[in-house]
Structure 1
Amino acid sequence: MALSAASGLAAYSIPAGVKKLDLSEELAEVIRTDNTALISRVGVGHFTATQLTHKWVEDKLNPNTATLNGDLDASSTTVNVATGQGSRFKVGTIFKFNEKGKTEMCRVTAVSDDTLTVERGYGSTDAETHSDGATIMIIAHTKQEGWEPNKEDWSQERTSAYNYLTTMGYGITITRRRQLVDHAAIPSEFAHQSAYRLKEFMRQLDSSVINS
């Protein structure tokens, strides 16, 4: 099934023997200008604002990547990482370089600030050259027998975040004459305007959740 375009219109071409799928709901979601699928799925109707400033605490995981600082040839056992990233490694850390076509793994044998001493070609892989700026992906932090966990600290400080209560709304003013006159078979102009302003309001909420 392919989507072909002609003269500003689009149509599906369905080869013989191919089962036709009902795409009406998916296509309707695409072309609707009042699409608020995100808010509908998040479901915020049961929450009530109780204060002007909302605060919460966020946790984070230890980083599992770093950046190679300087080119690396296939024989060097010294790997430099970007400033401040050396603390992401410990003796025993196994990592690889996230470069296309590269499979080498390395094992850290010593750490000094942002300089790592490593065993190249770890795990029967071949030592390779790597380019400055390459992403280093940490695979695991292995430990030797006799390792003392109280000599390391991997804990992370929680951070405080906050946001403000925001008031949004639409005003609708309908004159008595406008409300009483039948406009294109619309029984209530106020109800009609309210329904469309509600769609716009939902669109604002969707955008606020995505971009806040």
Structure 2
Amino acid sequence: MTISCKGEELILSKDRAIFWASKKMLIISDLHLGKSATFRMAGIPVPSTIGNTDLHKLTLLIGEFVPEVLLITGDMFHYQLNSDTEVFREWRAAHASLKIILVKGNHDRLKESDYAGLNIDIRQKELLCGPFRFVHDQPEQTDGYYNITGHIHPGVTVFGKSRQRLRLPCFYFGKNCAILPAFSQFTGLSKIKTEEGDQFYAITPSSVVAV
């Protein structure tokens, strides 16, 4: 689905990403690389294929949109380097020409040398690219920039005619802030406090739907 936001056209993908065509920029949030390995190290049986599935989905998006920049609005990694991160290292080598920018989130705690070794450009707080501010969590104060964030893992409940209820990830666009869905499928969904006029775009297996 293509929408207009602050005079810019943004393509909302069912694979939980935004493509900003005029900047050739693919935007995702909350990839959480290494989360499944972290759980396994804690004795919780989580399939090792989760990280591979997310990277495969990312590869397909790159093939579809051919971006010059991949922007991640926080929580690219889940605390530390581990076996899942080594899989990403191989993926990164296969996409060496792609510029990756990470606006650090609360889970991004690698050493600066680790990010440099993976050829990732770091922003400690935010990336300003008018008319947008890309940041991990919603700022308390608003200004002339429209904030595009992650962190919350937004979800929306869709009701059927026979009282069916389905919880789906979504894109949220409010007056001053948009929230991206978590890119990783190994995440939960959160409710969002909304105001009149806010827009939700639910993600189904086949499309993005305004609700």
Same fold (TM over 0.5): no
TM score, norm. by length of structure 1? 0.19
Q: Which has the higher strand share?
A: 2
Q: Which has the larger radius of gyration?
A: 1
